[in-house]
């Protein structure tokens, strides 16, 4: 199996070739705008001569405008796309996160990092086939400086805009594991309220829906924070009983590890959002499946 280092080297070689082609095209036109787009599932820092360099998180782009040189054509736009090497591309997934809330959210993703999304904006992640135990969550009440350092009221990931660790509860979670054609050819995905709730969400297939287990994905469109029991209410969200009180019965630990009945708090969450995990053993009604290669859309405030 090809190593990740070898794949990255092939990406570098492909990028150099694309830049050379872009430079050749720019020499033949009156002016050129070169746009670099990061469609990798990780952050890249493209450099350019002339142009300098910037940081590009997944889905971000950078445009460079070159002035007139020795030219015969006009208004040419050259797009340089940073592509992850085409490994298992037929089974990879595109996950688009859309903010339909009336307020700004800062989604975090593992893998993927994190971005700011104002109302109406979206963020596209290209996720490799075989990715396991991945998650995307909304963050609210965030403030970051120009270097991406700051903090969030809910979902904070160690004071970073681009997350390398999971968000602090309470936060609504979208979780997924992608299949592969050569192995388990099934994607598994869900919404989870095990870590509490902060923003309504839905997680829907945008392709292959007719071949998915229930022909749809989970949705939790209720503002649970507004209805949260007083003992679970925290700033910006509604905590879980496990997060708030701890204990074996709420956290499904100890003698409750295998046989863990629902509590009045997990029943509260399940009543508000029947599609979502309400506690750790809420498996039967909460796991959704689609064939590997399906694309998805996660909507904040559906």
Same domain, 191 and 127: yes
Q: Which of 49, 82, 115 is the last residue of a domain?
A: 82
pLDDT at 262 over 90: yes
- Put simply, whether the predicted model's pTM sits higher than 0.95 gets the answer no
The CATH number of the domain holding residue 188 is 2.60.110.10
Domain total of the chain: 2
- Exposure of 116 in the CB half-sphere (CA atoms within 13 A): 16
Domain with 59 in it: 4-82
pLDDT at residue 45 in the model: 76
Indicate the range of 14-18, 49-53, 148-152, 274-278 predicted with least confidence.
Answer: 14-18
Same domain, 132 and 164: yes
Percent of the chain clearing pLDDT 70 (strictly above):
77
Same domain, 215 and 94: yes
Same domain, 103 and 73: no
Same domain, 94 and 233: yes
Q: How confident is the model at residue 65 (pLDDT cuts 50, 70, 90)?
A: low
Same domain, 53 and 174: no
Same domain, 245 and 132: yes
Contact call for residues 290 and 208 (beta carbons, < 8 A): yes
pLDDT at residue 74 in the model: 40
Same domain, 67 and 93: no
pLDDT tens-digit series, residues 217-240: 999 999 999 999 999 999 999 999
pLDDT tens-digit series, residues 119-137: 999 999 999 999 999 999 9
pLDDT tens-digit series, residues 22-45: 554 444 445 567 887 877 756 777
Burial (0-12, 13-18, 19+ Cβ within 10 Å), 166: middle
Same domain, 133 and 64: no
Percent of the chain clearing pLDDT 90 (strictly above):
64
CA dihedral 154, 155, 158, 164 (to 10 degrees): -160
Same domain, 67 and 176: no
């Amino acid at each position: 199996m090809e190593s990740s280092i070898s794949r990255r080297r092939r990406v570098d070689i492909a990028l150099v070739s694309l830049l050379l082609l872009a430079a050749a095209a720019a020499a033949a036109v009156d002016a050129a705008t070169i746009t670099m787009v990061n469609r990798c599932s990780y952050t890249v820092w493209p450099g350019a001569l002339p142009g300098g360099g910037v940081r590009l998180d997944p889905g971000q782009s950078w445009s460079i405008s070159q002035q007139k040189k020795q030219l015969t054509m006009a208004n040419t736009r050259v797009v340089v796309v940073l592509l992850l090497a085409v490994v298992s591309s037929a089974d990879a997934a595109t996950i688009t996160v859309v903010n339909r809330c009336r307020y700004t959210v800062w989604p975090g993703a593992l893998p993927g990092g994190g971005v700011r999304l104002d109302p109406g904006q979206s963020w596209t992640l290209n996720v490799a086939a075989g990715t396991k135990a991945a998650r995307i969550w909304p963050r609210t009440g965030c403030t970051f400086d120009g270097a991406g350092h700051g903090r969030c009221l809910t979902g904070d990931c160690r004071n970073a805009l681009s997350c390398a660790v999971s968000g602090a509860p309470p936060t609504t979670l979208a979780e997924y594991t992608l299949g592969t054609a050569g192995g388990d050819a099934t994607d598994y995905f869900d919404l989870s309220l095990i870590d509490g709730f902060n923003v309504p969400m839905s997680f829907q297939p945008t392709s292959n829906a007719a071949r998915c287990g229930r022909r749809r994905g989970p949705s939790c469109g209720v503002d649970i924070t507004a209805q949260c029991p007083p003992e679970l209410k925290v700033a910006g969200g509604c905590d879980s009983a496990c997060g708030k009180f701890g204990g074996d019965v709420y956290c499904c630990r100890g003698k409750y590890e295998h046989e863990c009945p629902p509590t009045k708090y997990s029943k509260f969450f399940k009543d508000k959002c029947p599609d979502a995990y309400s506690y750790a053993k809420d498996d039967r009604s909460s796991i959704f499946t689609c064939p590997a290669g399906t694309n998805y859309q996660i909507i904040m405030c559906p």
